[in-house]
Amino acid sequence: MEEKATSMVPVEEKIKVINSNEKQRLARQKEILTDFTRQEAAVSQLKQDISNIDKAVEQFEEQQQHSSRESGISLSEADLQEYSRLKEIFNRQAAKENGRLDNLLRQKRTDEDSLSTFRSKIDEYRKQKARLEEEIVDLTARHDQTSARINHDLQDLASKKQQLNDIVSERLQQMAEEQEINEKLQKCVNELIDVNADRRESERELRLKETISSLKRLIPGVRGRVSDLCKPKQRKYETAMITVLGRNIDAVVVDTQKTASDCITYLREQRAGISTFIPLDSVIIKPISTSLRGMHKQMRLAIDTIDFDPSNERAMQYVCGNSVVCDDLDVAKYIRWDRGIDAKGKMKYKDLY
């Protein structure tokens, strides 16, 4: 729309220039017409004056000739000279007036040519003005059509933007609802996995307990699982104890290597799975570093945090080794890095490696 309006500016400027030129030329034409009229009047007056003089001269000569014939008087030489002098003055004056008349006639012809040229140019400007006015009418109509189309397009664009915003809002709401549903679904899946894991763990635990009970009943010398043969001295050591026991938490403590072999044979025959056995008579125990005791008031040996039957001490020493339990991470760092003790530390609530 702005381009259309801009395109009309040169046309309007042309019309202004044409109108200005037309006014100037009309004013000039008026001046020429006034001058032409004045000169035409002067020419007519001069022609009339010359004609009157010619007539007066002719009349005077005729009267003189007539008087001379009637009176029989002949002009003297002095009269003829005076007559010649007056006639010469008259002829000079007449020639001067004729020259003036010729000048006025030439100026008249020049003004007539200029007037004709001005009239032609005025006609040309009027035609050009008419063409430009028609072009303005056409451009105005096209401008109105374009403006209407642009307004319609702008309204349509606003409508489409509103529709797009509605769609985006609806899609965002759907995505939020979908995310909420997915989160709920994931929560349900996780809960189901936990339930299944707990169920499987419970089933495994039940089968393991039944297997251990069968072993105790059928094979003398079976003491039980490590986790059943010890317990933390305080509740705050429960997490650390589970971490310390690690993969040996379900290991079965037996009195001898032969008992362990008999248990393995039974499990194989009954297809009751596999288990780890710790024979008290042959298990290899690394000596516990007694220097660790009392090194820090917030650190203690893992074996000192659990209660167990003294007859199972070798098994407890095997699974605990030199592991220590620290109250917090700073104590564990101090023991490992500041004191340079290469011991496996367990915090009350999480491992430290």
The owner of tokens 């010890």 is 230
Return the domain boundaries, the chain.
2-65+80-161, 220-352
Fold (CATH) for 220-352: Taq DNA Polymerase; Chain T, domain 4 (1.20.1060)
* Residue 244 Rama label (left phi>0; alpha psi -120 to 50; beta): alpha
pLDDT computed for residue 349 by the predictor? 39
Structure tokens at 329: 């991470």
Residue at 232: amino acid letter: P
pTM for the full model? 0.43
User: How much is the average pLDDT of 105-124?
Assistant: 80
Burial of residue 326 (CB within 10 Å: 0-12, 13-18, 19+) is buried
CA dist list (Å): 64 to 60, 69, 82: 6, 9, 14
Residue 340 phi/psi, 5-degree rounding, is 70, 30
Distance, CA of 4 to CA of 320 (rounded, Å) = 92
pLDDT tens-place string over residues 271-289: 888 899 999 999 999 887 7
Q: Which of 73-82, 179-188, 332-341 has the highest mean pLDDT?
A: 179-188
Q: Which residues pair with 325 in a beta bridge?
A: 300, 346
CB atoms within 10 A of CB 271: 6
Looking at the DSSP assignment, which residues form a beta bridge with residue 252? 225, 277
Identify whether the C-beta of residue 51 lies closer than 8 Å to the C-beta of residue 98.
no
* Longest pairwise C-alpha distance within the chain: 207
Q: pLDDT tens digit string along 129-187?
A: 788 888 888 888 888 888 888 988 898 889 889 999 999 999 999 999 888 888 887 88
Q: pLDDT category, 200, cuts 50, 70, 90?
A: low
More confident residue, 55 or 2: 55
Mean pLDDT is lowest, of 90-104, 135-149, 246-260, for: 90-104
Question: At a CB cut-off of 8 Å and minimum separation 6, what does 126 contact?
Answer: 22
Here the tokens at position 133 are 């006015």
CB 42 within 8 A of CB 104: yes
